[in-house]
Amino acid sequence: MRPFTAVAALCGLLFSSSLVCAGSSTSSRVALPADFKPQQVFKNVNMVRNTNLEKAYVRETVNVVVENVDRQPQSDYYILFPSDDFGKVGGLEVRDKKASEKGRFAVEALEVESPSDYQYFVVHFPEPLAPSSQITLGISYFLLNSVTPRPATIGQSDKQYLTYSFSAYTPSAYQTVTQKTKVKFPSTNVPDYTTTSGLKSGSDPERQGTSYTYGPYDTAKVAPGTTYPITVRYEFTKPVIAASLVERDLEVSHWGGNLATEERYWLRNNGSMLSNQFSRVEWTLTNYQQLPSSAVRELKYPLRPGSVDPYFIDDIGNVSTSRYRPGKPPKREGSLELRPRFPIFGGWNYSFRIGWNDELSTFLRKAATGAESYVLKVPFIEGFKLPEGAQYEKVVVRVILPEGARNVRYQILEGSSSNGLPSSSQIESHISKHKTYMDTLGRTVLTLTVENLSDEARDSQIVVTYDYSFWDSLRKPLTITAGMFTVFVTAWVIGNLDVSIKKR
């Protein structure tokens, strides 16, 4: 082979472009006119709403028996939300209550042009519902940033109270015959709550321990969209943890057999702010007596068995006030206990990043379809595991694949229960390049962006499939070899140059 041909072949291997076969998608909302109202083709025979306030965000589950009252089969069911709450909805999932193992229904976000008091999601049934037939829907979702501290400022050791406002009538686009709402509080300390009059006979709400029940109401003659305001105020002496942004990087290294994970948090406490200046002495006494507090003391982060090399870094640098308890494969998970440099009280912010390494063989397998195809199964997000929960306004997950990976595809695993993620139509995805040391083309990066998540998404799994050939794996060592060869040749050429001054 001629030298020129050999060099050309080497350059073609190192610098040829790879075809990325993955469709980019963006979550878009269908625009509707301001006077849009769904056709009354359904009737809610019975509706039960369960509102859970045990965490720092609102978790709601609505079980509704839906009947088709039209003469034609219908497959689109509209879910109504007030415009103020529409942007706070996360993890919306709809299933057949009697056949949840069949998976979730397709849900699409709609947007009514302003001014409008309501916005809609549309649920697409897998099969049209026949006339006079019924189906029981299980609708679950959570509302971020929906609770408000009252009073807004408290003493450092005072109890914290939150308020939540809702309607005794569950918002619905269709006529509802009977309905009721069950509210679950974190404790029995509920000093203020709205009592209704004229909606039902007897006391309303009915109290039983930490549960309050509004209804049942006979609403057959109540127009859809009618509201009856309810406000509850309850004790919640725990931090109200929220993150405006979470960035998660998963870097795959075939040569090193390593999966490097890093998560970056922009955290804040949405609880009551301090009415006076912070007292270190009072805080030390509170910790010594182990009294409840509305401040963030520490963050517990479970890690999978086999995770190693954890680190905890904030804007200043490495934070040594953390403790790592390694797990024991294959079952006992590790625990990373993060203690910030200072307690995070209401209105305070704290940004940091954590990371660790895992054996790649735990998450990566070769696909059965071919020797050059790989399947990567990783958690979509891990996050904290706290009794008070955590809410994430925006999450960006980047899966950084080896250089030369192509035909990238992904799938969110579904089970018989909720995984805390919205439908795939509300998850943005795109493919890009990320260049690091000694890269020529740059590594293939799959980026997934989703808004309004909670700690319930810890159980979610993502499967990424991609093609990666043997020649692609040789790109980096050949690049290093070619670079070193170039350096030596250049040094040899320079060393053989005659730069001495001679007589003519």
pLDDT category at 330 given cuts 50, 70, 90 is: confident
Evaluate the CA torsion angle 277, 280, 282, 283 in order and state its sign.
Answer: positive
- The CA distance from 298 to 341, in Å, is 10
Q: At which residue do the structure tokens 């696909």 appear?
A: 367
Min mean pLDDT across 206-210, 268-272, 412-416 is at 412-416
Q: Is the peptide bond before 151 cis (omega within 30 degrees of 0)?
A: yes
| pLDDT: which is higher, 363 or 26 | 363
pLDDT at residue 21 in the model: 41
> Taking 70 as the threshold, does the pLDDT of residue 11 lie above it?
no
pLDDT at position 27: 56
- Short-list 312, 303, 323, 314, CA closest to 259: 303
What is the per-residue pLDDT for 3?
39
For residue range 417-428, list pLDDT tens digits in order. Answer: 778 888 888 899
| pLDDT class of 133 with cuts at 50, 70, 90 | very high
pLDDT at 24 over 70: no
CA 253 to chain centre: 25
Q: What is the pLDDT of residues 366-390, one digit of tens each?
A: 888 777 899 999 999 988 889 999 9
Phi, psi of 134 (to 5 degrees): -125, 155
**Mean of pLDDT values over 340-364:** 94
Under the banding of pLDDT at 50, 70 and 90, the label for residue 333 is confident
DSSP character for 105?
P
Q: How confident is the model at residue 66 (pLDDT cuts 50, 70, 90)?
A: very high
Q: How far apart are CA 376 and CA 385, in angstroms?
A: 24
pLDDT over 70 (residue 8) = no
Looking at residues 62-82, what average pLDDT do you find? 95
Going by DSSP bridges, is the β-strand pair 334-338/322-325 parallel, antiparallel, or unpaired? Answer: antiparallel
Q: Would you say residue 158 has pLDDT above 60?
A: yes
Strands (E), 284-438: 299-303, 308-314, 322-325, 334-338, 349-359, 364-366, 373-379, 391-403, 406-412, 428-434
Q: How confident is the model at residue 468 (pLDDT cuts 50, 70, 90)?
A: confident
pLDDT over 70, % of the chain = 93
| pLDDT of 13 over the 50 cut | no
Strands 176-184 and 211-218: antiparallel
End-to-end Cα distance, the chain: 43
Q: What is the pLDDT of residue 23?
A: 53
Q: How far is CA 244 from CA 144, 264, 392, in A?
A: 11, 11, 6
Query: What number is the average pLDDT over the span 143-149?
Result: 95
Band the pLDDT of 490: cuts 50, 70, 90.
Answer: very high
Q: What does the H/E/C string look like for 227-277?
A: CCEEEEEEECCCCCEEEEEEEEEEEEECCCCEEEEEEEEEEEECCCEECCC
Alpha-carbon span 488 to 482, nearest angstrom: 10
Residue 475 has pLDDT above 90, yes or no: no
User: pLDDT category, 68, cuts 50, 70, 90?
Assistant: very high
Say if CB 452 and CB 420 are below 8 A apart: no
Mean pLDDT estimate for the chain: 88
- Rounded to an integer, what distance in angstroms lies between the CA atom of residue 365 and that of residue 136? 39
Q: Which residue has the higher pLDDT, 114 or 301?
A: 301
